[in-house]
Amino acid sequence: MNTKEKIIETALRLYNQEGIRTVTTRQIAQEMGISAGNLHYHFKHTEDIIFTVFEQLRHDYDEMMVLFQKKDVIFQDLLLEFTWGSYQLINKYKFIFVNFVEICAWIPAIGDSYRNLVSQREEQFVSLFGHYSKLGMFRQDIPIAILKGFVRQIFIISDFWSSSFSVLGGRFESDAFEDYKRTVEVAFYPYLI
Amino acid sequence: MNTKEKIIETALRLYNQEGIRTVTTRQIAQEMGISAGNLHYHFKHTEDIIFTVFEQLRHDYDEMMVLFQKKDVIFQDLLLEFTWGSYQLINKYKFIFVNFVEICAWIPAIGDSYRNLVSQREEQFVSLFGHYSKLGMFRQDIPIAILKGFVRQIFIISDFWSSSFSVLGGRFESDAFEDYKRTVEVAFYPYLI
DNA sequence: ACTAAATTAGAACAATTGTTCTAATTTAGT
DNA sequence: ACTAAATTAGAACAATTGTTCTAATTTAGT
């Protein structure tokens, strides 16, 4: 692993542990045993570090969404896979989710990239629900406007569950996944048959 | 209005406009036409300013929740009143909602106060739903575990809708309330009769 | 009007932090 | 082995920022 990769890895770990507000580039460098000057040789600005981490997240996210290709599976099973997969990302990139608003205000390119991602996901979800409606596993009597609103709701939950969990004082080490899973399940509960 | 109140008012306005990350105590003082030294005479630490604003929010919130006392009203109407009332708060105290995670990490007393608030609200909502179940306006076949999960979901939506709206690039000046209202309505949609 | 307390301005302090600059060292290609 | 480019350490810079300190001024009570 080269220095550049090691910086990203260390930054991600420290940001997740200590929070984005308290970790400095000096601290990241010290933790790795390199000089601050060297760190800034590889990443001129702190933003560049965070943006690179975000690109990793996007990449991992796209990989996870491949799940949605195989549609010959019970909806409940697919949902569980999605829940687990998205939780893995939320956990791996904790600090991005938890500080998402702050990061987007700070680094506009991340906000742009996110909005792009969201519009993709929207379509995927709506078409998935349509597919499972035909298979009789998803309610068919839902107006399209509500369905789109429901998709939006799922995004709010999956993107900001961690924020809520965090301000409620939850610790990621213990029962975080259980809490997330229940939240997602409850959201889907009235829509499944 | 005395200086102390004027500081709070100005701080709230600037934080809402520019964001918590960029506004400094110097800037607040300058905007008011007083010295930074004077500002810190009234509020020793920046945290004290933000905490005072949060206390105002809590006060306003409690006032709004009085709505839930009068239970002789159509559920849809009560819901609309709640939606409008909570939106007013979200809008008035934008910066607190939008930067809630950051603020709670920074000022633990606010996190504590919030958790206290949440546990109160939880009970209020569950008992309200029970009441409207009996009146035949709310589904009666919902297991209590799901109901509690649903309440949690409503909290995530009302507390983090503004975060989502903000990262999606929405502007509070235009169609913000419409967006919020639709989101809340969609969440309730499958539970109402 | 007198006096003590409250308020205010403005300079100054202290600490932090991202970033740059320079000189040394290491690495990779031939 | 030679050489140019890449990498590195460490000092230094520059700007910001919350906060404190001091002296002046205003206010409120009698």
Q: Does A114 touch chain B (CB under 8 A)?
A: yes
pLDDT band at A72 (very low <50, low <70, confident <90, very high): confident
Residue to substitute from A96, A153, A175, interface B, most B β-carbons within 10 A: A153
Report the C-alpha gap between A118 and A123 in whole angstroms.
Answer: 9
Looking at the predicted structure, is the pLDDT value of residue B71 above 80?
no
Contact B147, B129 (CB under 8 A): yes
> Residue B176's CB: how many other CB atoms inside 10 A?
19
pLDDT band at B73 (very low <50, low <70, confident <90, very high): very high
Residues of B in contact with A99 (CB under 8 A): 101-102
Residue type, A30: Q
Q: Which residue of B has its CA nearest to A98?
A: B101
User: Which among A102, A104, A183 has CB closest to B153?
Assistant: A183
Q: Which nucleotide is closest to the Cα of A40 by its C1'?
A: C19
Looking at the predicted structure, is the pLDDT value of residue A174 above 90?
no
Q: Could you say which residues from 136 to 175 on chain B have a Cβ atom under 8 Å away from some Cβ of chain A?
A: 146, 149-150, 152-153, 155-157, 159-161, 163-164, 166-169
Closest residue by Cα to residue B97 from B159, B172, B175, B179: B159
Q: Cβ contact (<8 Å) for A104 and B166?
A: yes
- Structure tokens given for A20: 């984005």
**pTM for the structure as a whole:** 0.94
Residue-wise pLDDT for A84-119, tens only, equals: 999 999 999 999 999 999 999 999 999 999 999 999
- Structure tokens given for B104: 């709670």
Residue-wise pLDDT for A7-35, tens only, equals: 999 999 999 999 999 999 999 999 999 99
Nearest CA-CA distance, residue B73 and chain A, Å? 25
> Residue A41's CB: how many other CB atoms inside 10 A?
12
Task: Note the pLDDT of residue B173.
Answer: 85
Q: Provide the 8-state DSSP code for A74.
A: -
Residue to substitute from A150, A156, A157, interface B, most B β-carbons within 10 A: A156
